[in-house]
Structure 1
Amino acid sequence: MRFEDIEIEVNVLDNGQRVITQRGFMVGVGRIRPPRGRQYYRGGANLPAFLTVQNLKPFIGESLIVLANQVEFRTKQGGKAFGYAANFLPEVCDVFVRAQRAGVLKATQRNLANRIRVIAEKLRHSDMIRLIDEATGYQDARDR
């Protein structure tokens, strides 16, 4: 999927589930390198480390924690990959939009917040499932 100059890798699995690849998500929001030392939110939630920081905790709801459970799948080449449910991205955007409105974002979060703002603006006018279907060409197979 493309959001201006931001590209996020997505897939439609054999069972029809739409996923955002973990790598595609991280690259899309500007977190290209994996963080050193994994932080955990609570109770084994699998949130990306950049979402576990203290200033964002008040904006993390249970729905985001549920969506953070990664989906394991096989690529077309047979390799193991991980992804997130389609609605994970809009939920993350919502966290940053609300945190920015509250004025709690730190200077180190600005680049990430700017990228997420671009994505959020495009998502506000679109349906995530439709965007993934178009990006993967799945709308043709779905219609058949």
Structure 2
Amino acid sequence: MPQATHEGVLQFGTIEIEVAVLDNGQRVITQSGLMMGLGRIRPPTGRQYYRSGAHLPAFLTVQSLKPFIGEDLAAIANQIEFRTKRGVKALGYAPNFLPKVCEVFARAQHAGVLKATQHSIASRTQMIAEQLERSCTMRLIDEATSYQEIRKPHTQRNTYRSEE
């Protein structure tokens, strides 16, 4: 199981989302960090937190969001198991999962189909999306974890271009 070598927090105004870089170079957005950042108070409890079908978090499986969830989101929704720097087993998502979640809420809000309980999440995803427009998720993770300090500059540019 991969181990986190660098950990940090993405800041989107008052929203904080925990992130990590694993010993295999993979960047992850922690599951608990995503849930807390989106205002989901109940902490995730692992795989049982997911419903059948695609491995989407339960808050994305509600009927009103279904028309806005494409194959691209379902394809990257797989959980990544890893150990934190303290050795605790954790779950995370690929960096490109966060912008896709933001897109789902933006499209659903534009269509006017959000439930009252989803407006807070939509507000948070809008704030996150605005900052993600200015910088790619991998770059933000590298900055939050201080990982960019040990990477070679030309490798960073190539890595970030491939994500964008």
- The two structures have a TM-score, normalised by structure 1, of 0.92
Residue from 32, 53, 59 that aligns with 1:50: 59
Question: Deviation of residue 38 (structure 1)?
Answer: 4.5
Question: Structure 1 vs Structure 2: percent identity of aligned residues?
Answer: 65
Task: State whether structure 2 residue 31 is matched by structure 1 residue 22.
Answer: yes
Q: Give the secondary-structure state (helix, strand or coil) at the position aligned to 2:151.
A: helix
Q: Structure 2: where are the runs of 5+ without partners?
A: 1-9, 154-164
Question: Deviation of residue 39 (structure 1)?
Answer: 5.6
Q: Which shows bigger deviation, 130-139 or 112-121?
A: 112-121
- Report what 1:107 is aligned to: 116
Task: State whether structure 2 residue 75 is matched by structure 1 residue 75.
Answer: no
Question: Deviation of residue 143 (structure 1)?
Answer: 2.3
- Report what 2:14 is aligned to: 5
Aligned residue-pair number: 142
Runs of 4+, deviation exceeding 6 Å:
none
Q: Distance in 2 between matches of 1:29 and 1:112?
A: 5
Aligned-pair Cα RMSD in Å: 1.7
Task: State whether structure 2 residue 142 is matched by structure 1 residue 127.
Answer: no
Question: Deviation of residue 79 (structure 1)?
Answer: 1.3
In 2 relative to 1, CA 126–81 (structure 1 residues): closer, same or farther, beyond 3 Å? same
Question: Deviation of residue 140 (structure 1)?
Answer: 0.5
- Report what 1:66 is aligned to: 75
Q: Structure 1: where are the runs of 5+ without partners?
A: none
Residue from 17, 32, 51 that aligns with 1:40: 51
Q: Distance in 2 between matches of 1:28 and 1:22?
A: 10
